[in-house]
Structure 1
Amino acid sequence: MNQPKIKRDPEGTRRRILLAAAEEFAGGGLFGARVDQIARRAETNERMLYYYFGSKEQLFTAVLEHAFGLLTDAERALDLADLAPVEAMTRLAHFVWDYYRDHPEFLRLINNENLHEARYMQKSTRIREMISPIVTTVSSILARGEAADLFRPNVDPLRLYVTISGMGYYIVSNRFTLAATLGRDFSSSAERAEIVQLNTEMLLAYVMRK
């Protein structure tokens, strides 16, 4: 009796490993994540993990690339060109802050990589290329705002993007310690709305002409 042929799905296997590894690394970091648990989550074996990614460290780099790729895809889906400069800047900032709120696992991966002093991100040329589109978008909004005599001149788009990122990053990555030390849950919907309003006013106060 002929045995049914097993359909091979290399891309599916690779993707399952990548997604399983993302969960493990977000939870335990590079050193806390276990290869056997990643393989179990991905419904494969450790041999296939090493076949597709070479090593645990290379898999971690691939996970970082995948995480930044998802962020870049979401950023590219933004349609801000037809919005007035103030609304476009506000929409972009809110997108960044909402993305961090909705993807805390992304911030955990970044926090872990900071512990390694970006050792694995530095091995990736793709991640640096992924950051360029959003900075270009910020630059375009600033230029339109300046041309309309709304925004102050000479605002550095990269510094502004880093500042916008930091404004949303901190209350998500530190939400537990903030609650423990200050007694306030900044992840609650009411507190978040107040913080978003505060951050928006500070952002616009900086970029707008006096």
Structure 2
Amino acid sequence: MTQEPQNEEKKPRRNAAATRRKILSAAKEEFAQAGFEGARVDRIADRAGVNKNMLYHYFGSKDSLFSKVLDDAYRDIRQNEAALELDHLPAPEAVMALVEFSWDYYLKHPEFIRLLNAENQQKGRHVKSSAETNDINRTHLDRMREILKRGATDGTLRDDIDPVQLNISIAALGFFYLINQHTLSTVYQRDLMSPDELAERLRVMKDTIRCWVVRQH
């Protein structure tokens, strides 16, 4: 009598895409909390529930992993920004919408400014070596350039505003406040992260940018 072969229990197949996502999510948390120098690959692997060899298999090195985390961070803010419907707004209001968007994004994603701060401590070497950084951020500059051109044409905005300087100024007004929130709150003896203070900061940011870019008649 021939014995039928028993069905062997099938091992679950590794989902490479899901594993990469888990590693990237864990890496974003670790780099945001500890910076690049302080981050440990062992802790990233533990957070992701994988072994360190698998992490190196997918990303090659700590540097490559950090570069990928930065690219994804830039991609997320630019994709959210691109979803804004600004074409129907007058140019000054479109600029104000971008100011408000940047501020709200920083508040909802504090890890973003911590990652950028960590990369600046590395003198931007990961961003410089990334093949994706320029492509990811190109639409950001193009959109501001188009808004400024529209405003200059209809006379609502000054015609001598550099879109690069404007983007930097919008980022700086929020970035400096949030990255230095603890020291500033202590120095000025105010809780700068309270709802009232955050609302006041946004008002100041919008007034500052508006006074600069809107044409005075």
TM range (shorter): over 0.9
Is 1:99 paired with 2:94?
Answer: no
Match of 1:160 in 2: 166
Q: Is the 8 A contact 1:171 1:187 kept in 2?
A: no
Instruction: Give the drift of 1:199.
Output: 1.3
- Give the TM-score normalised by the residue count of structure 1: 0.96
Match of 1:144 in 2: 150
In structure 2, C-alpha distance between the alignment counterparts of 1:121 and 1:140, rounded to whole Å:
25
Q: Alignment length, in residue pairs?
A: 210
Match of 1:130 in 2: 136
In structure 1, C-alpha distance between the alignment counterparts of 2:205 and 2:196, rounded to whole Å:
14
What residue identity is the alignment partner of 2:83?
A
In structure 2, C-alpha distance between the alignment counterparts of 1:154 and 1:179, rounded to whole Å:
36
Q: Is the 8 A contact 1:17 1:49 kept in 2?
A: yes
- Give the alignment's Cα RMSD to 1 decimal: 1.1
Q: What secondary structure, in the 3-state scheme, does the structure 1 residue paired with 2:159 have?
A: coil
- Give the TM-score normalised by the residue count of structure 2: 0.93
**Per-residue deviation, residues 42-78 of structure 1 (Å, max 9, x unmatched):** 1111011000000111111111111111111111111
Among candidates 192, 196, 206, match of residue 200 of structure 1: 206
Instruction: Give the drift of 1:166.
Output: 0.5
Match of 1:8 in 2: 14
Instruction: Give the drift of 1:125.
Output: 2.2
In structure 2, C-alpha distance between the alignment counterparts of 1:125 and 1:187, rounded to whole Å:
36
Structure with max Cα Rg: 2
Q: Is the 8 A contact 2:99 2:205 kept in 1?
A: no
**Per-residue deviation, residues 89-124 of structure 1 (Å, max 9, x unmatched):** 111111011111111111111111111111111110
What residue identity is the alignment partner of 2:81?
E
User: Moved runs in structure 1, 4+ residues, more than 2 A?
Assistant: none
Unaligned runs of 5+ in 2: 1-5
Identity between Structure 1 and Structure 2 (%): 39
**Per-residue deviation, residues 146-203 of structure 1 (Å, max 9, x unmatched):** 1111111121111111111111111111111111222112221101111111111111
Match of 1:190 in 2: 196
Instruction: Give the drift of 1:5.
Output: 2.1
